[in-house]
Amino acid sequence: MFFVAPFLVSERGEAPAGLRHRWCGLSLIALTMAGWLWWNSGAVPRTTGPFVSDGLTLFVRGLTILSGAILVLLHWNQADDARSAESHACLLAILAGVNLVAAANDLVGLFVALELVSIPTYLFLLLPRRDAPAQEATLKYFLLSIFSSAIVLFGLSYLYGATGTTNLHAIHQAFDANQNLPHNPLVAVATVMLIAGLGFRLTAVPFHFYAPDVFQGAPTSAAAMLSFLPKVVGFVALLRLIGPGTGTESTLPVWIMTPAATPLVWWLAVATMFVGNLMALMQTDIRRLLAFSSVSHAGYMLVGLVVGRQDSGPLSGIDALLFYLCVYGAMTLGTFAVLIAAARSDKRIESLDDLSGLSRTKPALALMLSVFLFSLAGLPPTAGFLAKFNLFIAAWSQGVESSRWLACLLGVNAALGAWYYLKMIGMMYLRDPVDRRPDTPRFEVPALVAAFLCLVLTIGLFFAPGALWNAIQTLVK
């Protein structure tokens, strides 16, 4: 797609009408082939070498293929015919990088995989639109992304200096063999740097400052991608780095590097939940609101990382985290899909006032958006309720006072978040439309298909969560 596309565009930047449909179809074919290979991959797990194939790798591969297909549908009409090929190629490269992060078993390979996610993201933000807001959003993300990459590389170098190896399996064995290694000052610095650098991808406080500005200026499909895929990358990288490799016989706790990691992430989770929700309460721009919503959900998922693996409680924090990650992908991508489908032909939905009266002008889309907002708020009968309930039970059943406080704070923040989600629903159903101009009929069929798929997942995982939950417990041991 990168090499062929320039030959189909004239020197003046003109392309045949409808060319973007071919590139989108090619992207879906590529993801379908990848899905077929993933579904039929019954190979014996490989736990040695620079890249491994274990339960976590298979789980992330399936998650990214499905979410990638939804993102292709969202991005279908976001880029024009002349830029569609490179834009979709960047999206496929990002998805490949996510999978390589999940498979990484070496510090060098992990960093290269992280950059394979970051570098195409810069182009993905800029290609669909080159107006001033898109350029500003791209520049802000670029500058902060390279800064976070430098911090991650700094932490990886200290980890290598403390253990003498770049192989993650060997690093975990070194911590298992040397009980004094977690107290090494080099390890403490490495842990702080890694959590800080990857916190940028999670949009965890205080590394979240770019999110509202980038979400506001970027194309809607790019904002949807940023709300989900970087979180998958960040949490999977943390699981690879700070915890033992999944699928192994290791009995190490999750936080094997330094005792200071658990309280650090505890406070990070609390700050992220409160800042995200309190700032979202004050927003009038819908993209900035969803950006701070993304921040708060990162805090919820950090609760699962704090709890970690436990044998005494009924639920594992890591299992609850991965379940929440899947549900969050469905409900947040579905929200952006409705925003794309509900936009006017001459203006996209930007402020909360643009949602006013949507139940009267486009009742089906208003109903779908209401379901996604209910799920984001954690209300039944949606999968968001089960996802938050699992995190609460995992934290409470750990039996530690700090974890029970964390469970209570999670419940408080869920109530705070429900306020602005229900406010959006009230705008759609209780107010008259602000813009009464006649609108040219437009049918965003790909976005509607994506919204419907997300709706099925959001409702279906509430009534039948067993398949996903069993897959997580079976694959990610």
| Single-letter residue type at 293 | S
* Residue 300 within any structural domain of the chain: yes
Structural domain boundaries enclosing 167? 19-35+48-246
pTM for the model = 0.91
Q: Are 218 and 325 within one domain? A: no
| Gap between the terminal Cα atoms of the chain | 38
10 domain-assigned: no
Tell me: do 185 and 265 sit in the same domain.
no
Same domain, 390 and 419: yes
Mean of all residue pLDDT scores within the chain:
85
User: Are 325 and 281 contained in the same domain?
Assistant: yes
Q: Which residues touch 128 (CB under 8 Å, ≥6 apart)?
A: 75, 78, 79, 80, 83, 87, 134, 219, 221, 222
Say which range, 30-39, 135-144, 244-253, 400-409, has the weakest mean pLDDT.
244-253
Give 209-212 contacts, CB < 8 A, sequence gap 24+: 209/144, 210/140, 210/141, 210/144, 211/291, 211/292, 211/294, 211/295, 212/279, 212/283, 212/287, 212/288, 212/291, 212/292
Is 253 a domain residue?
Answer: no
For residues 325 and 456, membership in a common domain is answered with yes
451: pLDDT strictly greater than 90: yes
Give domain status of residue 124, yes or no.
yes
Counted domains in the chain: 2
User: Mean pLDDT over residues 115-137, rounded?
Assistant: 85
Would you say residue 131 lies in a domain?
A: yes
Same domain, 314 and 209: no
- Residue 27's pLDDT is 92
Residue 201 confidence (pLDDT) above 50: yes
192 with 330, same domain: the answer is no
Same-domain check for residues 207 and 264: no
Domain end among 246, 281, 300: 246
Both 340 and 192 in one domain: the answer is no
Q: Tell me the pLDDT tens digit for each residue of 346-373.
A: 677 888 888 888 888 888 999 999 999 9
Residues 85 and 215 in one domain: yes
Clarify whether residues 348 and 451 are in a common domain. yes
Say if residues 325 and 232 touch (Cβ distance below 8 Å): yes
In a domain, 278, yes or no: yes
**Which of 320, 231, 238 lies closest to 276 in space, CA to CA?**
231
> Of 246, 277, 309, which one is at a domain's C-terminal end?
246
In this structure, the answer to whether residues 92 and 140 fall within a common structural domain is yes
Domain boundary among 246, 279, 301: 246
In a domain? residue 60: yes
Q: Please report the pLDDT score of residue 345 as a whole number.
A: 65
**Structural domain contains residue 268:** yes
